[in-house]
Amino acid sequence: MSAGDGSGRALGRWWWDHVVLYVLAGLELLVQLWHDLVLAHGWDRKIEAQLPDVHGQCIVVTGGCTGLGHEVSRLLAQRGALVLVGCHHHSGGNICPCDVQEFGVPLPLDLSCPESIVTFARQVKVRAPNGVHLVVLNAGVLLAPPLHGYDAQYLINVHGHAQLLQLLTLAAGPSHQSRVLAISSSTSAYWPSLPTDYLQRASPATGPNPQARWSLARSYAYSKLALRHMVAAFADRADVRALVAHPGIVCTHLYRAVPQPLRLVYELAAPWLLRSPRQGALAVLAPLVAAALPAASEAQLTPAPHLHALLPQAVQHRLQVTPQAQLGSTLLLAPSRVC
Ligand SMILES: NC(=O)c1ccc[n+]([C@@H]2O[C@H](COP(=O)([O-])OP(=O)(O)OC[C@H]3O[C@@H](n4cnc5c(N)ncnc54)[C@H](OP(=O)(O)O)[C@@H]3O)[C@@H](O)[C@H]2O)c1
């Protein structure tokens, strides 16, 4: 257990945060099942049928070896895009251990390592000299322990992506606005505001015990909220369209760090109860379907097609991204080397 600084208060906070995470996620799962099986049966096939033709477009997907990123890459490649896939566990040679090369171009990418991000961005530039039309910020970790002294959720989910966005050249033209699609999470609505000292506390300079910052459950939620702020701020600044999507609760490797006995329950029940990676990918690609796009450039969270509208007004409001993010531009600052 990463219970923090060992004090009773820290332990209580750890338990409370995990209870909040699992209870709210359980409730969300019930709503999701109701939506997927009763209210909007076949929603995934409808979205798949409406996915736009992306021939001639270059698309970057991070964390595409597994799970949602893998399915997002495959779906976009089937629609004609050149998909450049950031693979974390790339062998380092020419061959990627996953099957991405069957539909896209696997490129090594470790978002916790600035040098790896720079190399990845260079390789993207070589393959897409006219720029990238869509960047899918998909890679992410949940309940991961600190890395290089940083909160790993911040380092990979937020900071690595911010650095990558700064390095990529986005394609622009009179008939096209490039887009950034961030895979966020509805957990960011469970703790809907970031601590004002979030950046300081996520960095190594916070003291001897980094885990005393906050529980890893909350750390994930904060990172996904910060990602939304970062993308909204980037879009405002770079004149691109930002989209933020939630895939629903999907059966992937993301939950590998969930503590026992919940982990066992997850392994037994997930394949039956949760969305498949393909369904999760279609949920996050829903904002690309023309009819679902907002008129103006703005961020939006789509928990599931139509699900948003079912939520109480107060919750709907929480799921909207405020373009004038409280932290926005600060999150785009790149820190010094960490590996
Ligand atoms: N599954 C859900 O229910 C759910 C719900 C809400 C949001 N999401 C979000 O959806 C996204 C995809 O997650 P998933 O469910 O598909 O889980 P996943 O299968 O674990 O995918 C996460 C991907 O991120 C990659 N990654 C991890 N550390 C990285 C690093 N340092 N540099 C580059 N890539 C790294 C992983 O690569 P390796 O496996 O090789 O480390 C993996 O390919 C995540 O951002 C997650 O937060 C998922």
Q: 54-112, pLDDT tens digit by residue?
A: 999 999 999 999 999 999 999 999 999 999 999 997 645 555 667 899 999 999 999 99
In this structure, of 21-35, 80-94, 125-139, 261-275, the range with the lowest mean pLDDT score is 80-94
In this structure, of 74-83, 133-142, 278-287, the range with the lowest mean pLDDT score is 278-287
Atom number in ligand 1 closest to CA 184: 7
Q: How far is CA 281 from the centre of its chain?
A: 11
Q: Tell me the C-alpha distance between 170 and 159, whole Å.
A: 19
Mean pLDDT of 244-260: 89
Q: Are strands 58-62 and 179-183 parallel, antiparallel or unpaired?
A: unpaired
In this structure, of 119-133, 159-173, 324-338, the range with the lowest mean pLDDT score is 324-338
Q: How far is the CA of 140 from the centre of ligand 1 (A)?
A: 4
- Domains detected in the chain: 8-324 (3.40.50.720)
Amino acid identity of residue 14, one-letter, is: W
pTM greater than 0.85 (yes/no): yes
Q: How far is the CA of 226 from the centre of ligand 1 (A)?
A: 16
Q: Convert the pLDDT of each residue in 205-243 to its tens digit.
A: 554 454 556 888 889 999 998 898 888 888 877 778 888
Which of 87, 68, 71, 88 minimizes the C-alpha distance to 79?
71
| Ligand 1 atom 47, closest CA | 140
In this structure, of 158-172, 243-257, 311-325, the range with the lowest mean pLDDT score is 311-325
Q: How far is the CA of 84 from the centre of ligand 1 (A)?
A: 16
- Evaluate whether 134 touches 317 at the Cβ level (below 8 Å): no
Helix boundaries (H) for 128-202: 152, 161-167, 198-202
Q: Which of 36, 73, 252, 319 to mutate to test the pocket of ligand 1 (most atoms within 8 A of CB)?
A: 252
* DSSP symbol at 42: T
* DSSP symbol at 305: T
Phi, psi of 147 (to 5 degrees): -130, 130
- Evaluate whether 250 touches 279 at the Cβ level (below 8 Å): yes
- CB atoms near residue 171 (< 10 Å): 17
- Evaluate whether 266 touches 29 at the Cβ level (below 8 Å): no
Which of 290, 192, 278 minimizes the C-alpha distance to 241?
290
Residue 304, token pair as written in the block: 């599931």
Q: How far is the CA of 9 from the centre of ligand 1 (A)?
A: 31
| Ligand 1 atom 42, closest CA | 63
Atom number in ligand 1 closest to CA 142: 47
End-to-end, the C-alpha distance of the chain in Å comes to: 26
**Pocket lined around ligand 1, Cβ cut-off 6 Å:** 62-63, 65-69, 86, 88-89, 109-112, 138-142, 156, 183, 185, 246-247, 249-250, 252-254
* 176 has a pLDDT exceeding 80: no
* 136 has a pLDDT exceeding 80: yes
- CB atoms near residue 98 (< 10 Å): 18
Amino acid identity of residue 166, one-letter, is: Q
Q: Tell me the C-alpha distance between 18 and 298, whole Å.
A: 32
In this structure, of 81-85, 96-100, 187-191, 329-333, the range with the lowest mean pLDDT score is 329-333
Put residue 193 in one of left, alpha, beta given phi > 0 → left and psi -120 to 50 → alpha.
beta
Q: How far is the CA of 141 from the centre of ligand 1 (A)?
A: 6
Mean pLDDT of 260-269: 89
Q: How far is the CA of 277 from the centre of ligand 1 (A)?
A: 11
- Evaluate whether 244 touches 228 at the Cβ level (below 8 Å): yes
* DSSP symbol at 266: H
Q: Tell me the C-alpha distance between 78 and 61, whole Å.
A: 14
Q: Which helix (H) or strand (E) holds 241?
A: strand 241-245
Of residues 49 and 201, the one with the higher pLDDT is 49
Q: Tell me the C-alpha distance between 173 and 17, whole Å.
A: 46
Q: Tell me the C-alpha distance between 111 and 123, whole Å.
A: 15
